[in-house]
Structure 1
Amino acid sequence: MVQFICYITSMSSICFSHEIYSLLMNHKQSTFFESKKGYYLLIIIYPLIMGIPLFIICFKTDAIVPRELKCDVANPIWVRLLGYSGANFILSIPGMYFSARSAYILYKHLDRFKDFSVNEDTSQSSQTFPNSPNSQIAQSPISRQFSQTKNNISQKRYSLTKEAVIRMSILSSSIILIHCLGSIGTIVSVLTHESLSTKVNLNDWAGSIAGICTFLIFGFSREIRNAWR
């Protein structure tokens, strides 16, 4: 079950990272995820594609053995490469790329991205108040209040996008770092043909650290803080 959740978490991270990347690069949603069917499809199918073969192999090879902390896949050691220590680690790399690329684009073109939102709203406002003999309404207090409201919405949308990219970059960086630390022991054991130690190691700590990092990144957001009040 833990491994199945790890599959879902990894695929969710890469899908979200790709969507943010598409929004920043093209200023629109990715066509693949436009209906969200592709998103749900990957989240459902990927864990099944990886989880079912892993379960069958573990059952056939009797790879699950008791360890000091829990029962885990330990012998033969190579079976672990199909799970958290292998497949999820590889999957976290493209997610890290999309997040890092998004953060780079955001900070490199920060003003340009902000101006895009403002110009888009200005264009919409000009369509709402076209040039006509009655165009004096554009100078009315109501019109100025409307323009200010649109600018506030643009600023809020810009701030939320920046905040989401920063959090996703930190999350993806944390995930790939944790997966790397959790995979070191398995990779070394596979290369040296040694069995996995039954004592607590970095791989056992990786899941707990991932949960803590996720809470620290998203648990102190503005929305979550307001929910606790």
Structure 2
Amino acid sequence: MVQFITLIGMMSAVCFAHESYSLIVKYNRSTAFGNKKLYYALVIIYPLLLGIPLLYFSLKTDAIIPRQYKCDVTNPVWVRMLGYSGGNLLLSIPGGYFSARSAYALYGHLDQFRSEFSVSDASQNSTLCTSSCKEPEGISLEPIQTPNSTLSPKSPQFPQRPSTQQNLNQRRYNMTKDAAIRMSILSLSFMLAYFLASFHTIIDLLTHKPLETKISINDWVGSVTGIYTFVVLLSRDVRRAWKIFR
């Protein structure tokens, strides 16, 4: 059951990465409505394609052995490669690719925001200077001199530049930057986690060594996958909770 749920989670992550890639790289031309049925089908079909052979060979070879905290596919170790140690390792490669491409496109949007900031500031300064420095017809801007006055002439007062658009652009910039960072961390974490989960199994398979019944790195990876996904995607909520309970 744990293997099956992990396969569902990995397929969902790949679909999420592909949709993010479509939204960002293809400039907001979303394919979500067209691919929704395909994503649902993949989330169901992929775990079944690997789960059914895994269950069949596990029962046939009597590979399910009690471990320290749960029952799992242990010996022969090659049966374990039909589960998340094998299939999810391969799936993490295209999932990481789509996430990396999306993060790269987001970083490109950051440069676009910077150029928009500079152009917007320059145009606002030019507009304000033109409207404020123009001398109205029939009105002299020369200072009035009084006999007892020793004050220097005051320069024209410029109205304060509106910052609504600038704040909006800065907010969009920060959101894009946070999304790019989260996507990069999440894709690298998925690839690293499934590589570590599969590395020990692959080594045991090559050396014809049965999997140990004690706690291994596979168990740690499966335990922290949901935790780091929550921390990466909901980092703001984590920071707020930390401030509250600190």
Is the TM value for this pair above 0.5? Answer: yes
Question: Which structure 2 residues correspond to residues 126-137 of structure 1 after superposition, within 5 A?
Answer: none
Structure 2 residue 193 is the aligned partner of structure 1 residue 174? no
Q: Which letter maps to 2:224?
A: I
Partner SS, residue 36 of structure 1: helix
5+ long unaligned stretches in structure 1? 117-147
Q: Greater helix share, 1 or 2?
A: 1
Residue of 209, 213, 218 corresponding to 1:203: 218
* Percent of pairs with identical residues: 56
Say if 2:109 and 2:176, in contact at 8 Å, map to a contact too: no
Question: Which structure 2 residues correspond to residues 43-82 of structure 1 after superposition, within 5 A?
Answer: 43-82=43-82
User: Using the alignment, how far apart are the partners of 2:196 and 2:82 within structure 1?
Assistant: 16
TM-score with structure 1 length normalisation? 0.74
TM-score with structure 2 length normalisation? 0.69
User: In the superposition, relative to structure 1, how do residues 113 and 39 fare at CA in structure 2: closer, same or farther (>3 Å)?
Assistant: farther
Please state how far the C-alpha of 1:192 moved relative to its aligned partner. Answer: 0.7
Structure 2 residue 150 is the aligned partner of structure 1 residue 163? no
CA RMSD of aligned residues (A): 3.1
Q: Which letter maps to 2:14?
A: I
User: Using the alignment, how far apart are the partners of 1:38 and 1:113 within structure 2?
Assistant: 34
1:40-62 alpha-carbon deviations (Å, 9 max, x no partner): 12112211222122111211111
Question: Which structure 2 residues correspond to residues 6-155 of structure 1 after superposition, within 5 A?
Answer: 6-31=6-31, 34=34, 36-112=36-112, 152=168
Please state how far the C-alpha of 1:156 moved relative to its aligned partner. Answer: 5.7
5+ long unaligned stretches in structure 2? 117-163
User: In the superposition, relative to structure 1, how do residues 55 and 224 fare at CA in structure 2: closer, same or farther (>3 Å)?
Assistant: farther
**Which of these two proteins has the greater Rg computed from alpha carbons?**
2
Aligned length: 200
Quote the residue 2:199 is aligned against: 184
Range that drifts further, 30-39 or 154-163 = 154-163
Q: Which letter maps to 2:61?
A: T
Partner SS, residue 72 of structure 1: strand
Shift >6 Å, 4+ stretches: 113-116
